[in-house]
Amino acid sequence: MSWDYAELSKAAKRAGSPEKLIDQLVDSGRKDMTPWLVVAVGAGATMTVVVQKVSKYLRARKQISDLEVEKAKTELIKGIKHYDEEQEKQHNVENQK
């Protein structure tokens, strides 16, 4: 691969010196990256907030579910005990006959 030194030489002459040309190229690269850096920081901050909100929502939803599960378990246990009592009463009535 060969470089087109004539074009580089002309660009360096317009810039004032090869060192100034290199400095201009580096500075322009930095300036080109600034908008992308701002976008990346903004996106990162937004994602952080979104993840925190979703996490909080899911934790709250899970707590409600745990309460509902406990309530359902209690109702089932009561229902089973009530059924067992009714069956025992019915069995006792049949045995007395």
Q: Which residue has the tokens 């580096």?
A: 26
Q: Is 14 contained in some domain?
A: yes
Q: Is 41 contained in some domain?
A: yes
Contacts of 20 (CB under 8 A, 6+ apart): 12
pLDDT (0 to 100) of residue 53: 95
pLDDT (0 to 100) of residue 60: 82
Q: Is 4 contained in some domain?
A: no
Task: Using only the alpha carbons of the chain, give its radius of gyration.
Answer: 39
pLDDT (0 to 100) of residue 3: 66
Q: Which residues of the chain have pLDDT under 50?
A: none
Domain housing 92: 9-96
d(CA 13, CA 24): 13
pLDDT (0 to 100) of residue 2: 65
How confident is the model over 16-44, as pLDDT tens digits?
998 988 888 888 877 777 788 899 999 99
- For the chain, the domain total comes to 1
Q: Which residue has the tokens 């009714």?
A: 86
